[in-house]
Amino acid sequence: MSKAIPEPVTKLIESFSRLPGVGPKTASRLTYYLLRAPEETSLALADALRDLKANTRYCAVCYNITVEDPCPICADAQRDQRTVAVVEEPLDVLAIERTGAFKGVYHVLHGAISPMNGIGPDDLRIRELTKRVDKGIIAEVIIATNPGLEGDATAMYIQRELTGKGARMTRLARGLPVGSDIEYADSVTLTRALMGRGDV
Ligand SMILES: [Zn+2]
């Protein structure tokens, strides 16, 4: 980057650039916006960033991001603790919660198997899922990975891992467009996919 730009500015532009979906142009725009905005704006952002890691953790049961451990969903006695939806990302939990159609609990993998990006089963929370199922309380595992190559590979791997452990295994009905993310699916489509889930 040009020497005409002071280092603190370059540093922030570079930090923003590392975020998903943020290109160098947006990173610069955000940085210069903060430079012009009142100091409180940057300080509030800095506080929020610091709190993000300091005040959140993984739920020891489902590995969703939470303030309290176990998370409110795992701790909720009204939820069906015997039905577990396995999702790739915390945002998928939000999408399914938005439908209001699911009363079970979750297991967040934090990604999908992707040999191209060097992500294998051990990089995901699959072993933790196996351990959960091994306890014998879970009656149904709904594999709700994204439709598409990586989601399918992950689903197949989980299926193999959990076979013979006594839990019914289902997968969301097709109907979610291939290559789309559950995170962005509309509630009607997602509810239909949940209701129409089939054994695998
Ligand atoms: Zn939890």
Q: Which domain holds residue 157?
A: 75-199
Whole-number pLDDT of residue 183: 87
Q: How far is the CA of 123 from the centre of ligand 1 (A)?
A: 19
Same domain, 107 and 157: yes
User: Could you tell me if 75 and 67 are in contact, meaning their C-beta atoms sit under 8 angstroms apart?
Assistant: no
Which CATH number does the domain housing residue 46 bear? 1.10.8.420
Same domain, 49 and 82: no
Measure the CA–CA gap between 107 and 74, rounded to whole angstroms: 10
Whole-number pLDDT of residue 181: 84
Q: How far is the CA of 60 from the centre of ligand 1 (A)?
A: 7
User: How is residue 175 annotated by DSSP?
Assistant: T
Measure the CA–CA gap between 195 and 188, rounded to whole angstroms: 11
Whole-number pLDDT of residue 179: 67
Whole-number pLDDT of residue 180: 74
Q: How far is the CA of 21 from the centre of ligand 1 (A)?
A: 28
Q: How far is the CA of 66 from the centre of ligand 1 (A)?
A: 8
Which residues have C-beta under 5 Å from ligand 1, the single-atom ion? Answer: 59, 61-62, 70-71, 74
User: Could you tell me if 135 and 106 are in contact, meaning their C-beta atoms sit under 8 angstroms apart?
Assistant: no
Measured in whole angstroms, how far is the alpha carbon of residue 138 from the centre of its chain? 21
Domain total of the chain = 2
Same domain, 45 and 111: no
Per-residue pLDDT of the chain (200 residues; tens, 9 = 90+): 567 889 999 999 999 999 989 999 999 999 999 999 999 999 999 999 999 999 999 999 999 999 999 999 999 999 999 999 999 999 999 999 999 999 999 999 999 999 998 999 999 999 999 999 999 999 999 999 998 899 999 999 999 999 999 999 999 987 777 767 888 888 998 999 999 899 98
pTM listed for this prediction: 0.85
In a domain, 88, yes or no: yes
Same domain, 16 and 105: no
Structure tokens at 98: 């938005």
